[in-house]
Chains A and B, each alone.
Chain A
Amino acid sequence: MTNTLKPFALSLSKGRSSTSKKGQGFDKLSPNGKRDITRRKLLNGAALGIAGGLLSGCDMLNDSQSFRKMLRGAESANFTVQRSLTDRQALATTFPESAISPVFPSNGTKEPDSAAYARFAERDFAGWPLIIDGLVENPLDLTLEQVRAMPGQTQITRHDCVEGWSAIGKWTGVRLSHLLEQVKLKPEARYLVFHCADRLYGVPYYESIDLIDAHHPQTILAWALNDEPLPIGNGAPLRLRVETQLGYKHAKYVVRIEAVSALGGVYGGKGGYWEDVANYAWYAGI
């Protein structure tokens, strides 16, 4: 993921040499006479131009706002179709203890770079705050100890990163719906925004989910991984688990949950750190 931000020069004239090699093979294979070969050469030239044009054309289309908007229509289709055709409350597959990955990788922020976080880490995150506010009837100002004292839920699930890798971990935490019962969402609340203590490349990390995922029975605010307090690399002391979506939705280092009616006014407006900085899909169920 870190590589997403690497700057790369656009190359608009790539692939020519390999295309022309293919063109030579074309000629050799031709069983026909000389006149035909000249015609072939003409076709080759055209094919070469088309191939070169196709490749640079793809980059031009990629940089076109309206074309990208059209491509993103497929992401909306993924969301709409999955939400309407599949069971929204379906449980992610759970695994036996024996399937737990020996090492659970850490991705994105490995350790939040702030003095405040370091001070919390020194004392095992005693007194770590969790604020739940926004469009709620009873805002809450909790501590880690209070969250850990709430009814817990443990699940052994597979974590799928958008990059392609997977790992299985045993997560323990409090169901998000349990917290929502206490704060009582106002009717106009549509999304929950998870504010995090870490900054990635200087930008605060955050994520958001809608109320369907918020009420999913496996959506928890986890404080333990594999029966140990959450390691710093995996989001200590509190992280979101939203098991039917890809890893970047699982906000780490959570300090505040804010109920909002729309995402447009929050940070970059697209509903999450990666959504804002790199155009990732807000819905990451696929």
Chain B
Amino acid sequence: MADKQQDTSRTSVKRHGLATRLWHWTNAVTLLVLLMSGFTIFNAHPRLYWGDTGNNFEPAWLAIGTSETRSYVRINRTKIPSTGVIGHWRDDAGRVQNWAFPDWATIPSRYDLAAGRQWHFFFAWILSVSLLLFMVFSLFNKHIANDLHMRREDWSPRNIAATIWHHMSLRFPKGREALRYNSLQKLSYIGVIFIALPLMIATGLAMSPQMNAAIPWLPELFGGRQSARSWHFIIAFALVAFFLVHMLMVLLSGPIQQLRGITSGRVSIPLESAE
């Protein structure tokens, strides 16, 4: 009976295109594997520098400090205690480990730099090719023009302020209005698709010695090879921050409908708002 009731009061409408949905779920897996295999690679030398060079004899802006009982993450001069999580943690057998990122955060779970690099490069190829395909498809299916394009009204400070206020007061658009991206959504998706992910690929390539020889300006664009490595790490964490906000927004705005939309492509909205 409930089904019948739903049929009369709600209607199913198109939400996300096929290219968007395929790319979304490809990314969900790819970015997670890249992050976790990236942690394995970071564990080989858990220090970050600015400039062309950086090694154990040069100052690092980010480093992991460990003693026999404690550990901390040092960012410039600020020491953040990290005992139990980063730099000093216990594995399942109860043994203390001093690797930076713990086993549950890395692929593979035990330290294996060669394997971490193999996972990382394989999924880096998937990321690069799928990003390129998504951009091309989104150009032709008008996803960029219709959904992501920041229109004049999206840029108005009044509109942006109102959208921020709506987010802060947890009032999300319902029905038909929820089908279009607001200015903050557009900005964050544009930021991920056209800025953060291309920068991840570019900073990754900037660490390659052969790419350095072939395109010498690439590492210089980021301030040198070690700076490129630092940016690679910083932007990765910006993407983690995006993911956390993304999850929060999905949970607050109706996770079942959102999951349905990004998987099947359709959502159900109240009938009156569809008219």
Decide if A101 touches B44 in the complex (CB within 8 Å): no
In residues 187-222 of chain B, which contact A (Cβ within 8 Å)?
A: 205, 207-216, 219
- A9 in the interface, Cβ–Cβ < 8 Å? yes
Number of A-B contacts (CB under 8 A): 175
The reply to whether B209 and A245 contact each other, CB–CB distance below 8 Å, is yes
Q: Is the CB of A74 within 8 A of B226?
A: no
- Contact between chains at A74 and B124 (CB < 8 Å): yes
In the assembled complex, which residues on chain A have CB atoms less than 8 Å from the CB atom of B54? 165-166
**A163's contact among B36, B93, B113, by CB below 8 Å, is which?**
B113
7 interchain residue pairs of minimum CB distance: A285-B210, A8-B110, A86-B214, A164-B45, A286-B208, A103-B57, A74-B122
Residue of B nearest to A40 (CB): B255
Chain B facing A: main interface SS: helix
B251 at the interface (CB under 8 A from A): yes
Instruction: Say whether, besides A11-B103, A58-B108, A286 and B210 are in contact (CB < 8 Å).
Output: yes
Q: A162-B44, A165-B54, A166-B54 are in contact. Are A74 and B125 (CB under 8 A)?
A: yes
Q: Is A38 an interface residue (CB 8 A)?
A: no
Contact across chains for A101 and B118 when beta carbons are under 8 A apart: no
Contacts of B209 in A (CB 8 A): 92, 160, 243-246, 284-286
Interface contact B121-A87, CB-CB below 8 Å = no
B104–A55 touching, CB < 8 Å = yes
Q: Does A41 contact B (CB under 8 A)?
A: no
* Chain A contact patch, size range: 35 or more
- Identify which of residues 23-70 in chain B touch chain A, using a CB-to-CB cut-off of 8 Å: 33, 36, 41-42, 44-45, 47, 52-58
For residue A111, CB closer than 8 A to chain B, the reply is: no
Q: Determine the interface band of chain B, counting residues with CB < 8 A from chain A.
A: 35 or more
Taking beta carbons and an 8 Å cutoff, which residues of B are in contact with A? 33, 36, 41-42, 44-45, 47, 52-58, 91-93, 103-104, 107-115, 117-119, 121-122, 124-125, 205, 207-216, 219, 225-226, 229, 251-252
Query: A281 and B109 in contact (CB under 8 A), knowing A11-B103, A82-B210, A158-B52?
Result: no
Cβ-defined contact, B252 with A166, below 8 A: no
A31, closest chain B residue (CB): B252
User: Smallest distance from the beta carbon of B93 to chain A beta carbons, Å?
Assistant: 5
**Does A149 sit within 8 A of B, measured CB to CB?**
no
The answer to whether A280 touches B114, judged by C-beta atoms less than 8 angstroms apart, is: yes
Given A26-B251, A105-B55, A163-B45, answer yes or no on A72-B118 (Cβ-Cβ < 8 Å): yes
